[in-house]
Structure 1
Amino acid sequence: MASRLNNDYCVILAGGKGRRLWPCSRAEKPKQFIDFFGFGRTQLQQTFDRIVQILPREHIFINTNELYVDLVKEQLPGISDDHIMAEPIHRNTAPSVAWACHRIAHICPDANLLVTPSDQAVNNERAFFQNIEEGFEFVQNNDGLLTLGVKPTRPEPGYGYIQLGDEATHDIYKVKSFTEKPEREFAKMFLESGEFYWNTGVFLARTSYLRECFYRFLPSILRVFDREHADWTIAEENEFIRENFPSYPNISIDYGILEKSEHVFVLKGDFGWADLGTWHSIYEAMRKSETDNVVIDSEVMLDDARNNVIKLPKGKLAVINGLDGYIVAEQDNVLLICRKEDSSSLVRKYVNEVQIQKGDKYV
């Protein structure tokens, strides 16, 4: 067991723009670098704090954008420069995971890799650690990609869903299908069927097997990279990324690899999970008042107001009357008041329109 643990690595994905939590998440400082809930630690720091309990610090890598390197160094001062993988341009998760797989495989050819987003809540860390241990053990001994799923508690259209197939071993099943952000009626059907689990975006694989998948399904990313690589220094590798990363496809690891591979499995997790990437998911995940409002680290006076989520800057007071089912969020020079029900799509729309009509200073 000890020898296997020496082969376990993790990459934390922390390069996203976080636009679905605008205006609190902004281009210069996205959600993963914000102490959003007033806990004293940002989402990135909380994710790192969790992973460092089960893996050595030197086995944890941070994938981010060049714009955020200083934020990563400020918030995780113990991370060495060669463990911060900074991309020159925003791409989706497939190129990010490919680069992490490449670097870690050259450090440890027998590495097992845990990939995790930086914007999730885990309520039961003991159960999470146990699931990760089971996951590492499985991918060490099996050719396959292992996702972590959690049983849905509501018909959430903002999440991805995994349909369970045949059982492979205890609590691990073949994946029958993936569905990304279904309509609410389909989400209700998924919940009632009992066959579908939420896709947490956390997955594990042996780097050797993951590389085979990239070679097969997205050869434009890793194959050129590996062919060019000899005994580069980290600086030379980073320079190669700066020159070539913009040419890589803008595609998610789910769509580019997981949905195409025949050997994909899901582990049924039970660790109290929530995606903290949207206003609606935050509302659903957090404890509510008697009037079903969620007030996030803010000073408010509410009168005849229900089902709202409210996030204000320090030093501001809001007096709210008559609102039902809204987001009220303010940060710097932007105040957003938006229907909560449709917020996931509306916030993206508003960010794009604001950027076009008003400029980058509001984004």
Structure 2
Amino acid sequence: MLTPVLLSGGVGSRLWPVSRELHPKQFLPLAGELTMLQQTLERTGNLEASAPVVVCNEEHRFMVAEQLRQVGIAPSALILEPVGRNTAPAVALAALQELARDPDAILLVLPADHIIQDAAAFAGAVTRALPMAREGRLMTFGVVPQAAETGYGYIRCGASLGEDLYALEAFVEKPDADTAQSYLDSGSYLWNSGMFLLRAATYLEQLGEFQPDMLACCRSAMDSATVDMDFIRPQAVSFSACAADSIDYAVMEHTRAGGVVALDCGWSDVGAWSALWEVAARDEHGNASQGDVMLDNCRDSYFRSESRLVAATGVSNLVVVETADAILVADRDRVQDVKRIVNRLKAESRPEASLHSRVYRPWGSYESLVTADRFQVKRIIVNPGQTLSLQMHHHRAEHWIVVHGTAEVTCEDRVFMLAEDESTYIPLGRKHRLANPGRIPLELIEVQSGSYLGEDDIVRFEDVYGRDRPAASEEKPR
């Protein structure tokens, strides 16, 4: 059976400030109403396939689960990587999981953060490549190049194996401009998409031949894996001992069983803001804009507003991206350098590198509105049917005002309901819990007041999500 395997471990730092470490690009609606993860899941619906396997990291687990729930997809497995080890070990975890269920499993390996504009063409390429994969070929998808692109790696195709099918001759690194043009002129090179179609058993055999230690670590990690609610947790010590390497370097560059299927489907890996400009609808002056944007005499630029008006006049070839707590202005030809800004933010331990002002939690989200001496104000959204932990604080009290939906409030031994426009006070030191028993999101305003407002001032007594005491990166650990 064909099983989609979504790799959702990236951080998308080149799309800062919208994409951040704890809420990266695959969880964002960058090219439509659905998030990129959801769009990836949606395009597999055109295939005769089983429920997907998703491989993600620990911090994103509830986000992945919620986004699958929103589109009505129940995965066959959600595998949590204890640490990031690149794509070769991630695919091995999925292969081991599926091989135990189906000895003939075929894996369609898809990064969760790519754009494909022509889903039918993508499905056709999968259908053409499937017989080759069943015969033991490790098939990769090579995108028909539209330009002499220097930002992508390339695949050199060998002998023809059928319609748009080729033997895999070599992977080549990102070229300079002249080399890229020579690749384009030759007609023998395709862009490396990072997508694969392969038998789980064949992949593991090839991994064992070329990277036996990696396979041993992955096998040990899955043999000792634990199941936590809907999540599969490979054993951390074994997996952490695994070398970090991509599937390209670990297997595909060495195998004699490689194959390529040519793909022409409006593909982009959305590696920078310029890529979104290229796939977006543009006005007669070449500008792409999203959100509250007002332009005058601007050309060939990308503008994105998330929280307020962005106005521009007399500029060209720019990328301007606004969020509630940061604004990026870049030359459209230099947007790859945004990663240097992110590295500086991390070096200075600035929260903008990893956190948005709106932070997502397994129960919903919260957004910081005002922070001042001895008080702060937050907007909290609790998803239908979700419950926050039973907890207390030593140094702060909280006021809750419901603005939408219905809240179930626990304060010590008292449990009561709050409707819209009603409020309550949680005194310092009292055990309390907030829940949404309704079918619509609960929205409330929380005003915290006290001598210390740090989020490490929490004692958690019960938590339905099985979370331990929060990591330092969690600002709102309810």
TM-score, L = length of structure 1: 0.90
* Superposed CA offset, 1:296-319 (max 9, x none): x222222232221122204x2111
Q: Is 1:95 the equivalent of 2:89? A: yes
Match of 1:35, SS state, is coil
Task: Compare the two structures and name the one with the higher helix fraction.
Answer: 1
Q: What's the counterpart of residue 143 of structure 2?
A: 150
Q: Partners of 1:330 and 1:158 in 2: how far apart?
A: 25
What are the equivalent positions in structure 2 for 1:141-220 lying under 5 Å apart?
141=135, 143-220=136-213
Q: Partners of 2:149 and 2:224 in 1: how far apart?
A: 47
Q: Partners of 1:247 and 1:331 in 2: how far apart?
A: 38
Q: What's the counterpart of residue 274 of structure 2?
A: 280
Q: Partners of 2:80 and 2:203 in 1: how far apart?
A: 21
Q: 2:226·2:234 contact (CA, 8 Å) conserved in 1?
A: no
> Which of 219, 231, 247 pairs up with 2:241?
247
TM-score, L = length of structure 2: 0.69
Q: Quick one: structure 1 residues 233 and 22, their matched pair in 2 at CA, closer, same or farther if it must change by over 3 Å? A: closer
Q: Partners of 1:136 and 1:220 in 2: how far apart?
A: 29
Identity of aligned pairs, percent?
32
Q: 1:11·1:114 contact (CA, 8 Å) conserved in 2?
A: yes
More moved, 207-216 vs 242-251: 242-251
Q: 2:268·2:275 contact (CA, 8 Å) conserved in 1?
A: yes
Q: Quick one: structure 1 residues 362 and 271, their matched pair in 2 at CA, closer, same or farther if it must change by over 3 Å? A: closer
Q: What's the counterpart of residue 106 of structure 1?
A: 100
Q: Partners of 1:63 and 1:303 in 2: how far apart?
A: 45
The number of equivalent residue pairs is 351
State the one-letter code of the partner of 1:154: A
What are the equivalent positions in structure 2 for 1:259-338 lying under 5 Å apart?
259-295=253-289, 297-314=290-307, 316-338=308-330
Q: 2:78·2:232 contact (CA, 8 Å) conserved in 1?
A: no
Name the structure, 1 or 2, with higher relative contact order (CA <8 Å, separation 6+): 1
Q: 1:87·1:241 contact (CA, 8 Å) conserved in 2?
A: no
Match of 1:341, SS state, is helix
> Which of 328, 332, 350 pairs up with 1:359?
350
Q: Partners of 2:13 and 2:220 in 1: how far apart?
A: 36
Q: Is 1:341 the equivalent of 2:333? A: yes
Q: 2:77·2:232 contact (CA, 8 Å) conserved in 1?
A: no
State the one-letter code of the partner of 2:145: P
CA RMSD of aligned residues (A): 2.2
Q: State the Cα distance separating 1:135 from its structure 2 match.
A: 1.5
More moved, 127-136 vs 61-70: 127-136
Q: What's the counterpart of residue 133 of structure 2?
A: 139
Q: Partners of 2:319 and 2:188 in 1: how far apart?
A: 32
Match of 1:333, SS state, is coil
> Which of 47, 51, 57 pairs up with 1:65?
57
- Structure showing greater radius of gyration is 2
Give structure 1 stretches of 5+ with no counterpart: 1-6
Q: State the Cα distance separating 1:31 from its structure 2 match.
A: 0.7
Q: State the Cα distance separating 1:133 from its structure 2 match.
A: 1.4
Q: 1:17·1:26 contact (CA, 8 Å) conserved in 2?
A: yes
Q: 2:226·2:235 contact (CA, 8 Å) conserved in 1?
A: no
* Superposed CA offset, 1:278-332 (max 9, x none): 212222223322222221x222222232221122204x21111232222111223
Q: What's the counterpart of residue 53 of structure 1?
A: 46
Q: State the Cα distance separating 1:246 from its structure 2 match.
A: 2.1
Give structure 2 stretches of 5+ with no counterpart: 355-478
Match of 2:47, SS state, is coil
Q: Partners of 2:244 and 2:347 in 1: how far apart?
A: 22
Match of 2:123, SS state, is helix
Q: 2:2·2:50 contact (CA, 8 Å) conserved in 1?
A: no
* Superposed CA offset, 1:176-225 (max 9, x none): 22123222232222222211111221111111110111112222222244
Q: Partners of 1:240 and 1:91 in 2: how far apart?
A: 13
